[in-house]
Amino acid sequence: MNNVVKDSMVPISDYPTVSRDAILMDAVFALENAKNNFEGKEESAHWIVLVMDNENRVVGKLSQLDVLTALETHTDAVKIIDGINKFGFSPRYITTMREELHLKNASFERLYADPGIMASEVTQFMHNITESDSIDENTSLATAAHHMAARKRLSMLVTKDDNVVGVLRMTDVFTVVINRIRDEHNIKV
């Protein structure tokens, strides 16, 4: 695997972004638009939205999972069920409890359209960018793969002279790895 990160990254200009003043609704639709732009080409779609500060620096990222987590109901009853996770209950029991609560208390539509949550600032739900989220553009893809596995990241910000220039996604690295395996074993598609 001789390629370096910049050969496989998505340039930051191709990525959906919102400002740090944006509300969750803005981020949801930015993600949705990005997905629609790649309809039919799932491997090219973007699964995160980047959050930028006033000087156009990346300060956070928000994934689809973050959005779903943000939109969950947070009643006291839900908090208690979430809380008992660490007390030895089986996943099956927890699922049953959540289902019962769901049927008792709210429709699906209401659960996922809470206007209060949708109007909240995106910074409440984003992951702040830390040093371990970034990788230099000239790093080899082999090292990048190691960092993603070790740090459990589905994407990393690619930097050049400390400026973010792109995003390296798990799917990009995986594609290179698969191609390399094919070459090694002389497998034709």
Partner 1 sequence: MKDLEKLYDRVIQRVNINLRELEFEVNPYAQNAIPLGQMVRFYAFFGISPHHPLSFQFKNSNLAGSYFLGNCNVTNSLLYKSDIRGDELKKKGDIFQYQEFEIPVSKDEEINITDSLLIKTLVHNYSHDPETLEEFFIKDTISMNYANIHGSPSDGCFLGPFATADLTTIRDCVIRRFAYVQAGEVSHLDIPAGTVWVRSPGDFNFYYQHPVDKLNEYIYISPTAPPQGLFIDFVEDRKEAFQRVFDVVNIEHSTSVPSSASLDRYAVVKPSTTIGENVLVSQRAYLQNSYLGKGANAQENCYIINSRLEGFNVTAHGAKIIEADLGSNVFVGFNSFLRGCPDGRLTIGKESIIMPHTIIDIKESLTIPPGHIVWGMVRDEKDLANHSISIEKFSSIDSGINMGNMFFEGNGGAFVNAFKDRIHHILEANGAFFNGSERKGHAQKNQYISFNTLQPYPEGRKKGIYPTIVIKP
Q: How far is the CB of 187 from partner 1 (least distance, A)?
A: 47
Query: Whose structure tokens read 């956070």?
Result: 60
User: For partner 1, which is the closer residue by CB, 63 or 73?
Assistant: 73
What is the distance between the alpha carbons of residues 111 and 14, in angstroms, rounded to a whole number? 32
Tell me if residue 60 falls in helix, strand or coil: strand
CB of 148 to partner 1, least distance (A): 26
For partner 1, the closer of residues 88 and 116 by Cβ is 88
Output the smallest distance, CB 103 to partner 1, in A.
Answer: 13
Interface ranges with partner 1 (CB under 8 A): 80-81, 83-84, 86-90, 93, 96-97, 100
Classify 140 in phi/psi space as left (phi over 0), alpha (psi -120 to 50) or beta. beta
Give the whole-angstrom CA distance, residue 56 versus residue 32: 22
Smallest gap from Cβ 85 to partner 1, in A, equals 11
Pick the closer one to partner 1 by CB: 97 or 142.
97
Q: Strand order in 163-169's β-sheet?
A: 10-11, 163-169, 155-160, 134-136
Q: Which amino acid is at 69?
A: T
- Minimum CB distance to partner 1 smaller for 84 or for 113: 84
